[in-house]
Amino acid sequence: MPQTHGKRIKTRDLFSKEVREKGLKSLSKFMYDYKEGDEVIIKIDPSVHSGIPFRRFHGKRGKIIEKRGRAFLVKILDGNKEKLVIARPEHLVLVQKNAKEKN
């Protein structure tokens, strides 16, 4: 069979969840409002199909630049090049700072 060229090509293991993780996340995950300058990790949630960034950016760390509608613009480093990724909050995780950095 010919190979498909869709957005989710080669994501069988990358976008699969464990048995107890299946289903949607809590509403607080959808409603969280990130601020400009927040550091986030792109962690794609396969149960939400809208606002998914490309699979290459899964696990990348970046900074929130601005809000665009329901989504956020995230600046990441891809090699030596800065790239802008549009992702909805379901696919973002806030980076936890160390206790020393907070003081």
Would the pLDDT of 80 be above 70?
Answer: yes
Assess whether pLDDT exceeds 70 at residue 51: yes
Q: Which amino acid is at 65?
A: I
From CA 14, how far away is CA 20, in angstroms rounded? 16
Which residue stretches of 4-96 are H helix?
27-31
In angstroms, the CA 81 to CA 79 distance is: 6
Query: For the whole model, what pTM was predicted?
Result: 0.82
pLDDT bucket at 98, cuts 50 / 70 / 90: low
Max distance between CA atoms of the chain, in angstroms, equals 58
Rounded mean pLDDT of 54-78?
94
